[in-house]
Amino acid sequence: MKRILFITQNLGRGGSEMLLWYSLNHLNKNKFTPLIFCKERGDFIDVLPTHIKYFLPYKKSKNLFRKAFRAILKAFKVNPLEYQLKQIHKKNNVDFWYVNTIIIPEVYEIAQKLGVKIITHVHELTIAYNFITYNDLKRIINYSSILIGCSEAVCNKIRDMGRTDVKLLYGFIDTDKITYTKLAPEVKAAIGFSSDDFVWAISGKTSLIKGIDFLVTLLKVVPQNFKFIWIGGDEYTGLYYYTEKALHINFPGRVKFLGVQREEYYNYLNSADAFLLLSREDSFPLVMLEAAALGKPIVGFNSGGISEFVYPHTGRVINSWRIEDLAYAMKEIESNPLAFNKEEIKRQALGYEVKKQVAILEDILDEMT
């Protein structure tokens, strides 16, 4: 029985967090005992299976004693995170750590001090490298016993840094969870769109990396009946203001920002006629798989992992980064619906189903000694 401490950002609704959530729910309980440490409290913390212990930093705890204890540690110049991880590791006889992102680099120095082995699951491409330091990435690449990439695009970047032993584990979905309770025409009407509108769904934060600003240029060159829903958390930046204001003035009513959705998420996603990826960089977007599981054709710029999933019968990948080429592909999807068979798209998504992929993950975990 291997006891593994999974370390992640928040166990929320982001793609990498959802993958970890699916993994934790399907790992073989007879072989692995998972524990989880989250830097923040995400949506899925409170609905973890009862056999999985979870830990939050003392600073984020609702327990006043732990917060006071953290203050004492700091007063004595003891790193609270290092102390807490050391205690978790020791008291639970943990065998190794599994870090679900490169954006928590501080845990690697702690692991080195303790002599703890680490598996690092990398979901990020090069833009994310800019959010950590030179020495952070160097330590992650050199210290990790095993590195996992969520797409060939990610694995290739890791190979570039000399780790040719990186493991490929594609992102995946739990198709049992992808269900809708309302018909598409009903949802479209509730949003304010007509039956003649061709609706494109976009999912993710309203951020630069997700390409929110591309919408303004795109709407200048697509047909009037193309409407858009953006599902995901609002980032109240100047870029979001620019996009929202420009769309409101020049294209009123054609783009609906729906914010974070929970119970209604798949109802909205299913209401769309097709799915659009505007990301500047995206390793292997979970939302792409979710859309495919609902039979939606996919169009997007070649931002990373999309080219490893989208084939001619699934949608279109745009290599040029020209908005006009993107618009042309979108029109092709609308005008040739029979070329993109919904059932074929759904079948392709089944190749990335959680049980198949977790079996690969378990083989990787078995390699750790």
Q: What are the residue boundaries of the structural domains of the chain, listed by start?
A: 2-172+353-367, 175-350
pLDDT in tens, 267-326: 999 999 999 999 999 999 999 999 999 999 999 999 999 999 999 999 999 999 999 999
pLDDT at 234: 86
* DSSP H or E run through 161: none
Count CB-CB contacts under 10 A for residue 194: 10
Please state, in angstroms and rounded to a whole number, the distance separating the CA atoms of residues 122 and 119: 10
Measured between alpha carbons, how far is 204 from 259 in angstroms, rounded to an integer? 9
At residue 166, the pLDDT reads: 99
With a cut of 90, say whether residue 61 has pLDDT above it. no
**Amino acid 190: pLDDT:** 98
Nearest to 334 by CA among 322, 308, 316: 316
| Nearest by Cα to 39 from 23, 59, 19, 53 | 59
Task: Give the whole-angstrom CA distance, residue 309 versus residue 298.
Answer: 10
Strands 32-38 and 2-8: parallel
Tokens of 13: 């609704």
Percent of the chain whose pLDDT exceeds 70: 100
3-state secondary structure of 305: helix
pLDDT at 63: 84
pLDDT for res 369: 84
Question: What's the pTM?
Answer: 0.95
Q: Is the pLDDT of residue 226 over 90?
A: yes
State yes or no: pLDDT of 202 exceeds 90. Answer: yes
Q: What would the two tokens of residue 206 be?
A: 């309203």
For residue 142, the model assigns a pLDDT of: 99
Between CA 197 and CA 14 the distance in angstroms is 29
Query: Is there a shared CATH topology between the 2-172+353-367 domain and the 175-350 domain?
Result: yes
Candidate CATH numbers 3.40.309.10, 3.10.129.10, 1.10.645.10, 3.40.50.2000; the one for domain 175-350 = 3.40.50.2000
pLDDT band at 62 (very low <50, low <70, confident <90, very high): confident
Q: How far is CA 38 from CA 26, 43, 75, 135, 317, in A?
A: 19, 11, 24, 23, 35
Amino acid of residue 244: E
Q: Which CATH architecture has domain 2-172+353-367?
A: 3-Layer(aba) Sandwich (3.40)
> What Rg do the C-alpha atoms of the chain give, in angstroms?
22
